[in-house]
C-alpha cells in the first residue's frame, strides 16, 4: 500500500497529488491506525470562559498517539475547517512528503478534504504533532489554535523507572497585538492553560506519597517561553525534546521555549495539595497551572514560588569532551528589520527573508555545523525538521552530547548545532516562534 503511494507521488508529482486530494479525497483500503478530525471547537477552559478555536477530535490537546518505534503507522486526517490544513509530525525522521510542511513538498489538505499520512515513526521518545500553517495577523490560526497533540514513540525496551506518567501541554490563548518595549509588535494573550483547563478548573493530578511520577511536558505555545515549577518539589530532568540527557540533573524550575519538550521525574515526598504552574504570577493567574493532590490530603492548593532559577542546557550535556568535528561549517546570522509601530518585524537569515532565503545543499552522510549568530534583541527557538541535532556550542563555549530538535538561541548570543545529513529530502529550518516564522524566519536544506 505504501509502495503504491510512493509510486503515485513519483509519477504524478506533489502539486498534482495535492489537487487530486483536494478534489477527490484520498481513498485507500483498510482501517487507519489513528484518525484526526480538524474542526472548529468551543473550548470551555473554565466555567463561563470559552475559547473559539480549531482542534483535533474535539479536544485539546488532540489524542495521545502512542506507537512502537519502527512499526508503520497510517493516520487519516479529515479537514472540517474552512481553510487548507496540514499536520506536521515534529521531531521524526520521516520522508519530506509525509512530514507535513508545504515548504518541503507535503500536500495541503483542502477544506472538506482528507489525507492519509503513512510513515514509520522514529526515533523513540516524546514527539508531537501540530498544524504547520501560517497565521500572519490572525491569532486564531496555526499554532495559536488548539491544533496540537503528543506523540509518544515507544522504545524497544522501556526503562519504566516510574510509577505514574503524566503528559502535560502548555498553551496560551486569544492572542492580541500588544506593544513591546522596542515599539515593534508582539503577541499578548488573555488566558493560558495546562492541557485544556485553567488552574483550579481541572481534575487534580492524583498522587500517593512515595510515588515516582514522570512528567512529560510540551510547550505548545505559539510564541511564549514558559517557566514551570511544582511547589515544594524537585524536578529531575531525564530527557529534552524526547531524547535522554547525558547527565540527569535536578532543578527547582524548568524553562521550555515554544515547541520544546522536557521530561522530569518527581519523588512525591511532600504530602499536601500543591500547585504546579508557571512561575510568573501573571501567567499562572491567567490559568497556566494544575493542582497536584496527594491521596488523603485536602485543602486549598498551595503555591510556593521556587527560588530564582537560571536555565542553562549545559549541565545536562556531557560533562567533558567536545563534539566530533563537522565536515562543513555553515554560518547563519539572524537579524530583524523594524517595519514601524503596529507591525511585526521582518526576520532574516543571512540578510534574506523566506522565500528568498538561500537554500543550502547538503550531501548524504556528511556532518554539518550551523554557526548561528543571533544579532537581534529577541530569543529564537530554532527548529530543524526531519533530523535530530547535537548542541555543540552555546555562547562561545563548546559542549557535546545533548541531542535536540529545538534549541533556544538567546538574544544577542550564539549557538552551534551539528547534524548528520541522514534523511534525504527537503528539510525546513525555522524559528518556532509563530510570528517570526510567518515573517520570514525560514530556510530550506536540500540534498544533492
Ligand atoms: Cu524567532
In the chain, how many domains are there? Answer: 3
Please tell me the distance between residue 437's alpha carbon and the centre of ligand 1 in angstroms: 7
CA of 279 to the centre of ligand 1 (A): 23
- Centre of ligand 1 to C-alpha 8, Å, is 37
Determine the distance separating the centroid of ligand 1 and the alpha carbon of 400, expressed in angstroms.
24
pLDDT (average), residues 283-311: 96
- The mean pLDDT value for 403-427 works out to 98
Please state the φ and ψ torsions of residue 428, each to the nearest 5 degrees: -90, 140
**Ligand 1 center to 167 CA (angstroms):** 26
Q: Do 258 and 380 reside in the same domain of the chain? A: no
Count CB atoms within 10 A of the CB of residue 223. 22
Ligand 1 centre to CA of 105 (Å) is: 23
Q: Is residue 200 left, alpha or beta, with left meaning phi > 0 and alpha meaning psi from -120 to 50?
A: left
CA distance 208 to 95: 43
- How far is the centre of ligand 1, averaged over its atoms, from the C-alpha of 254 (Å)? 20
Q: What is the pTM of this model?
A: 0.92
Same domain, 11 and 146: yes
pLDDT tens-digit series, residues 115-152: 999 999 999 999 999 999 999 888 889 999 999 999 99
Cα-to-centroid distance, 431 and ligand 1 (Å)? 4
- Does pLDDT of 14 surpass 70? no
pLDDT at residue 183 greater than cutoff 70: no
What are 58's three cell numbers?
474535539
Same domain, 195 and 269: yes
Q: Are residues 216 and 127 in the same domain?
A: no
Residue 367 lies in a domain: yes
CATH of the domain at 431: 2.60.40.420
CA separation for the pair 17, 435 (Å, rounded): 30
Shared domain for 294 and 182, answered yes or no, is: yes
Of 311, 338, 362, which residue constitutes the final position of a domain?
A: 311
Residue 436 Cα to ligand 1 midpoint, Å, equals: 5
Q: Are 220 and 170 in contact (CB under 8 A)?
A: yes
What distance in Å separates the CA atoms of residue 10 and residue 81, rounded to the nearest whole number? 29
Distance 194 CA to ligand 1 centre (A): 23
Between the CA of 440 and the centroid of ligand 1 the distance, in Å, is 10
Q: 359 and 298 in one domain? A: no
CA dist list (Å): 180 to 177, 186, 285, 368: 9, 6, 21, 36
CA distances to 5, 136, 253, 269 from 257, rounded to whole Å, are 36, 20, 13, 29
**How many angstroms does the Cα of residue 175 sit away from the middle of ligand 1?**
17
Ligand 1 centroid, distance to 351 Cα (angstroms): 15
Q: Identify the domain boundary among 281, 311, 341.
A: 311
CA–centroid distance, 143 to ligand 1, in Å, is 14
Residue 246, domain member (yes or no): yes
Is residue 7 over pLDDT 60? no
d(CA 306, CA 309): 8
Q: DSSP letters of 157-219?
A: S-----SEEEEEEEEEES-EEEE-TTSSEEEE-SEEEETTB-TTSSPPEEE-TT-EEEEEEEE
Pick the last residue of a domain from 131, 154, 177.
Answer: 154
In a domain, 437, yes or no: yes
CA of 439 relative to ligand 1 center, distance in Å: 10
List beta partners, residue 64: none
Residue 190 within a domain: yes
All three cell numbers of 79, joined, read 479537514
C-alpha gyration radius of the chain: 21
Q: In angstroms, what is the span from residue 74 Cα to ligand 1's centroid? A: 32
pLDDT of residue 188: 87
Same domain, 179 and 288: yes
**Residues facing 304 on adjacent strands:** none
Report the alpha-carbon distance of residue 242 to residue 199 in Å, rounded: 26
Give residue-wise pLDDT tens across range 219-272.
Answer: 999 999 999 999 999 999 999 999 999 999 999 999 999 999 999 999 999 999
For residue 131, how far is its CA from the centre of ligand 1 (angstroms)?
18
Which residue, among 82, 40, 74, has the nearest Cα to 57 in the 3D structure?
40
Same structural domain, 294 and 372? no
Could you tell me if residue 335 is inside a domain? yes
Say if residue 187 is in the same domain as residue 228: yes
CB of 447 within 8 A of CB of 420?
Answer: no
Would you say residue 321 lies in a domain?
A: no
339-391 pLDDT tens trace: 777 778 899 999 999 999 999 999 999 999 999 999 999 999 999 999 999 99
Flag whether 399 is in a domain. yes
User: Domain check: are 291 and 360 in the same one?
Assistant: no
**Based on the domain organization, do 387 and 349 belong to the same domain?**
yes
Distance CA 167, CA 151 (A): 10
pLDDT at residue 23 in the model: 35
CA of 38 to the centre of ligand 1 (A): 27
Structural domain boundaries enclosing 259: 164-311
> Are 23 and 123 within one domain?
yes
Q: How confident is the model at residue 177 (pLDDT cuts 50, 70, 90)?
A: low
Whole-number Å distance, alpha carbon 443 to ligand 1 midpoint, is 13
Residue 301 vs residues 154, 176, 272, 355: alpha-carbon distances, Å = 34, 31, 8, 49
Distance of CA 412 from the midpoint of ligand 1 (Å): 12
Ligand 1 center–CA 379 separation, angstroms: 6
Establish if 317 belongs to a structural domain. no
Amino acid at each position: 500500500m505504501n509502495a503504491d503511494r510512493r509510486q503515485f507521488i513519483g509519477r504524478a508529482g506533489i502539486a498534482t497529488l495535492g489537487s487530486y486530494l483536494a478534489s477527490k479525497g484520498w481513498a485507500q483500503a483498510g482501517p487507519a491506525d489513528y484518525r484526526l478530525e480538524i474542526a472548529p471547537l468551543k473550548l470551555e477552559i473554565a466555567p463561563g470562559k470559552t475559547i473559539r478555536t480549531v482542534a483535533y477530535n474535539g479536544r485539546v490537546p488532540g489524542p495521545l498517539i502512542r506507537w512502537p518505534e519502527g512499526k508503520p503507522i497510517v493516520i487519516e486526517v479529515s479537514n472540517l475547517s474552512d481553510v487548507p490544513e496540514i499536520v506536521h509530525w515534529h521531531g521524526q525522521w520521516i520522508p519530506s512528503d509525509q512530514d507535513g510542511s508545504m515548504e518541503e513538498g507535503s500536500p495541503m489538505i483542502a477544506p472538506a478534504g482528507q489525507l492519509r499520512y503513512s510513515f514509520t515513526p522514529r526515533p523513540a521518545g516524546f514527539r508531537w504533532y501540530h498544524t504547520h500553517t501560517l497565521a500572519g495577523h490572525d491569532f486564531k490560526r496555526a499554532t495559536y489554535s488548539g491544533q496540537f497533540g503528543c506523540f509518544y514513540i515507544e522504545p524497544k525496551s522501556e526503562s519504566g523507572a516510574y510509577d505514574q506518567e503524566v503528559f502535560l501541554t502548555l498553551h496560551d490563548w486569544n492572542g492580541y497585538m500588544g506593544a513591546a518595549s522596542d515599539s515593534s509588535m508582539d503577541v499578548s494573550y488573555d488566558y493560558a492553560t495546562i492541557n485544556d483547563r485553567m488552574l483550579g478548573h481541572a481534575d487534580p493530578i492524583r498522587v500517593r506519597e512515595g510515588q515516582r511520577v514522570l512528567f512529560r511536558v510540551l510547550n505548545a505555545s505559539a510564541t511564549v517561553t514558559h517557566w514551570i515549577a511544582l511547589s515544594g518539589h524537585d524536578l529531575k530532568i531525564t530527557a529534552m525534546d524526547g531524547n535522554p540527557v547525558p547527565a540527569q540533573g535536578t532543578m527547582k524550575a524548568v524553562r521550555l521555549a515554544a515547541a520544546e519538550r522536557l521530561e522530569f521525574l518527581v519523588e512525591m515526598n511532600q504530602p499536601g495539595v500543591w500547585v504546579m504552574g508557571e512561575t510568573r504570577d501573571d501567567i499562572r493567574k491567567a490559568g497556566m497551572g494544575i493542582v497536584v493532590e496527594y491521596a488523603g490530603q485536602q485543602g486549598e492548593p498551595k503555591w510556593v514560588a521556587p527560588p530564582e532559577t537560571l536555565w542553562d542546557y549545559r549541565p545536562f550535556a556531557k560533562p567533558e569532551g567536545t563534539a566530533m568535528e563537522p565536515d562543513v561549517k555553515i554560518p547563519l546570522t539572524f537579524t530583524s528589520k523594524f517595519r514601524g509601530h503596529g507591525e511585526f518585524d521582518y526576520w532574516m537569515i543571512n540578510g534574506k527573508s523566506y522565500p528568498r532565503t538561500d537554500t543550502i545543499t547538503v550531501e548524504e552522510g556528511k556532518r554539518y555545523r550551523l554557526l548561528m549568530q543571533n544579532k537581534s534583541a529577541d530569543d529564537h527557538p530554532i527548529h530543524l525538521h526531519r533530523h535530530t541535532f547535537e548542541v555543540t556550542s552555546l555562547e562561545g563555549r563548546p559542549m557535546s552530547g545533548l541531542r535536540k530538535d529545538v534549541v533556544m538561541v538567546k538574544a544577542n548570543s550564539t549557538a552551534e548545532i551539528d547534524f548528520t545529513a541522514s534523511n534525504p529530502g527537503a528539510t525546513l529550518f525555522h524559528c518556532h516562534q509563530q510570528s517570526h516564522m510567518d515573517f520570514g524566519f525560514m530556510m530550506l536544506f536540500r540534498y544533492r
